[in-house]
């Protein structure tokens, strides 16, 4: 943090703005700016760059950016902005909105804004509820984002009434509830909530993210009976690699005790599924790659195949790399690892999905992809012959078909392959292209009340601001107010204009490319082309 930013924060004032391209973007892609209205109201021709004019000249002349925002009133209500000589709409977009300024005026104008921009409205349709049931976890992974960044919130669990009562109106319009954390099975209410959902909303698929430590027999039976889609972060093929690459270095003894427990629980679950002819629901397994386990990738894949893993997922350790950069910070370990994954992805495309295209340097990936695509498939098959033997009887689409047969028989919604890979990585049609679906069809809820449409977007709303008391004395949330809030609508408006402010830079859903590359391009899409491995 710079000295200016520190002083500004302490004094509760706003730093001065420079008239940058970023500021023009703030104006042009704001729901409170209307270029047509601006030109017509002030007698300008159709070729005027209205956003640039308002940014540099118009606001100083007292002009408004639209009928829904008053330059003079905002400056009068916020003397710190006036004294900083800052464009009021730029201030609102960059700072004021998050600080709660102009809230009443925005709420009054919102119906008119949404009427003019119906594409920014949303209503869940078999959507996704991502529920961080607790931040607490029984593991000590050294790269855990919760442990590294959540501070005092790292051990908090969600208020149960939120998912039992406040979220109840959502469930009729939800297709998947993704229970995560922390650890999905570690909250005091985890088992009760999963039973509640399985009993009362059987059409919904419950997906879980866990390390497997707390995945005991009760959870295993519940998951098998109700066709959960489970994901376990195992992170190593054996206890030695786990102790040196995953667990905090100061607690190696605990790591050596924990790893066998994880594998025992997962193995027992897979055996249960096999006995019930539900092996197609075997869990997905994942590994975080860093300098201490990059040489374990092939052994991890073999372990995953022995456990009949549905999908095999890899992440690159963000504590070792600047994931917003175009290239790896530790290329000696990460670059060969990525090339290996691309080769495995190509070889196993029809059989088992190897997925790793989440939060990685895009330029690095593009270069390596060209190298891998140029290798003859026969050469790759020979190189990975032992892995192919373990996957000999596997079929991505065959197992998806079987899962959906079982779902249909159990009265559940069927899922697409993209749903099964990751419920949050979807594209939706928009005219002649596709864009991220999340702002229109996802809700993310955190224990502190944070309420977003994506876990990879900047903090947006808080459920505490939407809890109302009904005539019957019971608390409730009007979810249409959340879904069609100014904040959510503004994010949609920006995303429709390829403005990804607020998104994490390396998400595959917010590439600056147009059209974006679907996350299935190098795996599932090979199947549809009829030559998946060539």
Position 152 scores a pLDDT of 58
Positions of the chain with pLDDT under 50: 1-17, 512-515, 530-534
Structure tokens at 504: 């994490």
* 373 CB burial (10 A radius; 0-12, 13-18, 19+): exposed
For domain 134-412, the CATH architecture is Alpha-Beta Barrel (3.20)
DSSP labels, 391-440: TTT--HHHHHHHHHHHHHHTTPPP--HHHHH-TT--EEEETTEEEESHHH
Total residues found in the chain within this entry: 534
Position 151 scores a pLDDT of 58
Position 534 scores a pLDDT of 42
**Model confidence pTM above 0.85:** yes
Residue (of 58, 73, 60) closest to 28 by Cα position = 58
**In this predicted model, what pLDDT tens digit does every residue of 309-338 receive, in sequence order?**
999 999 988 888 776 677 888 889 999 999
Phi, psi of 9 (to 5 degrees): -65, -40
Beta strand residue intervals within 255-356, DSSP E = 284-289, 311-316, 353-355
Domain ranges in the chain are: 14-116, 134-412, 418-463+473-528
Query: How many of the other CB atoms lie within 10 Å of CB of 505?
Result: 17
Position 210 scores a pLDDT of 95
Rounded Cα gap, residues 59 and 102, in angstroms: 17
- 227-258 b/e with 16+ CB inside 10 Å = b? bbbbbbbbbbbebebbbbbbbeeeeeeebeeb
């Amino acid at each position: 943090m710079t000295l200016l930013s520190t002083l500004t924060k302490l004094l509760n004032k706003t730093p001065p703005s420079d008239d940058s391209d970023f500021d023009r973007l703030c104006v042009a892609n704001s729901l409170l700016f209307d270029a047509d209205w601006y030109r017509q109201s002030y007698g300008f021709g159709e070729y005027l760059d209205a956003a640039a004019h308002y940014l540099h000249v118009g606001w100083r002349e007292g002009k408004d950016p639209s009928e829904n925002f008053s330059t003079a009133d905002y400056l009068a209500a916020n003397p710190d902005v006036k004294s900083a000589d800052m464009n009021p709409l730029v201030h609102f977009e960059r700072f004021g909105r998050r600080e709660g300024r102009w809230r009443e005026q925005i709420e009054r104008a919102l119906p008119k804004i949404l009427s003019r921009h119906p594409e920014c409205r949303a209503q869940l349709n078999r959507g996704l509820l991502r529920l961080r049931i607790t931040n607490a976890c029984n593991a000590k992974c050294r790269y855990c984002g919760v442990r590294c960044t959540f501070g005092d919130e790292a051990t908090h669990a969600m208020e149960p009434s939120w998912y039992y009562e406040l979220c109840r109106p959502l469930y009729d319009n939800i297709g998947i509830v993704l229970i995560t954390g922390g650890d999905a099975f570690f909250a005091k209410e985890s088992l009760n909530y999963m039973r509640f959902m399985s009993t009362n909303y059987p059409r919904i698929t419950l997906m879980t993210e866990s390390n497997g430590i707390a995945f005991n027999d009760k959870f295993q039976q519940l998951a098998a009976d109700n066709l959960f889609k489970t994901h376990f972060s195992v992170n190593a093929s054996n206890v030695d690699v786990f102790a040196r690459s995953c667990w905090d270095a100061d607690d190696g003894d605990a790591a050596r005790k924990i790893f066998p427990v994880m594998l025992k629980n997962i193995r027992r679950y897979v055996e249960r599924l096999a006995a019930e002819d539900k092996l197609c629901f075997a869990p997905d397994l994942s590994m975080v790659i860093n300098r201490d386990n990059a040489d374990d990738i092939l052994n991890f894949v073999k372990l995953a195949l022995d456990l009949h893993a549905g999908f095999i997922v890899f992440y690159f350790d963000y504590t070792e790399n600047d994931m917003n950069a175009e290239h790896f910070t530790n290329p000696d370990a990460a670059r060969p690892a990525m090339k290996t994954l691309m080769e495995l992805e190509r070889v196993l495309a029809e059989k088992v999905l190897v997925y790793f295209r989440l939060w990685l340097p895009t330029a690095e990936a593009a270069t390596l992809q060209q190298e891998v695509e140029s290798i003859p498939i026969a050469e790759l098959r020979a190189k990975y012959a032992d892995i192919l033997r373990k996957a000999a009887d596997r079929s991505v689409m065959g197992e998806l078909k079987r899962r959906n047969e079982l779902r249909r028989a159990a009265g559940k919604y069927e899922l697409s392959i993209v749903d099964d890979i990751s419920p949050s990585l979807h594209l939706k049609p928009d005219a002649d292209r596709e864009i991220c679906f999340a702002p229109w069809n996802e809700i993310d809820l955190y224990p502190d009340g944070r309420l977003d449409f994506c876990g990879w977007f900047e903090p947006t709303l808080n459920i505490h601001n939407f809890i109302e008391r009904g005539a019957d004395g019971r608390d409730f949330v009007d979810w249409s107010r959340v879904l069609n809030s100014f904040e959510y609508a503004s994010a949609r408006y920006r995303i429709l204009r390829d403005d990804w402010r607020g998104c994490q830079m390396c998400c595959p859903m917010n590439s600056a490319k147009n059209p974006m590359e679907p996350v299935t391009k190098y795996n599932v899409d090979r199947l549809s082309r009829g030559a998946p491995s060539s």
